[in-house]
């Protein structure tokens, strides 16, 4: 029995974007009773959201770029107290 060749599927962001645009057009031109046009706004908005995600407009991770106040060590009665509060700002976090 001869082996079947595996087909390589090529699907790009552009292909996906074009398909989502087609879905949006169908959603806006959806016909209801008596052939009246009744747009399906929820489908349109979902396709819009997926297009935005595809283009990188939405991010799952919040990136905050605020100021950080650092406090140096404190000396009380000649003893140096090292305050260790919060996280080291040089540490990278990985959410796995």
pLDDT of residue 94: 54
CA angle 11, 55, 9 (to 5 degrees): 5
pLDDT of residue 96: 46
The per-residue pLDDT for range 77-96, each reduced to its tens digit, is 888 877 776 666 665 555 54
3-state secondary structure 17-73: HHHHHHHHHHHHCCECHHHCECCCHHHHHHHHHHHHHHCCCCCCCCCCCCCCCCCCC
The per-residue pLDDT for range 10-68, each reduced to its tens digit, is 889 999 999 999 999 999 999 988 889 999 999 999 999 999 999 888 876 666 667 76
User: How much is the average pLDDT of 65-76?
Assistant: 72
Given a cut of 70, is residue 9 above it in pLDDT?
yes
pLDDT of residue 89: 66
């Amino acid at each position: 029995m001869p082996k079947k060749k595996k087909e390589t599927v090529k699907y790009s962001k552009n292909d996906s974007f074009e398909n989502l645009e087609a879905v949006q057009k169908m959603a806006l031109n959806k016909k209801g009773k008596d052939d009246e046009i009744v747009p399906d706004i929820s489908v349109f908005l979902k396709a819009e959201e997926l297009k935005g995600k595809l283009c990188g407009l939405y991010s799952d991770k919040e990136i905050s770029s605020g100021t950080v106040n650092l406090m140096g060590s404190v000396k009380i009665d000649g003893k140096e107290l090292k305050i260790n509060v919060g996280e080291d700002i040089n540490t990278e976090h990985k959410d796995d």
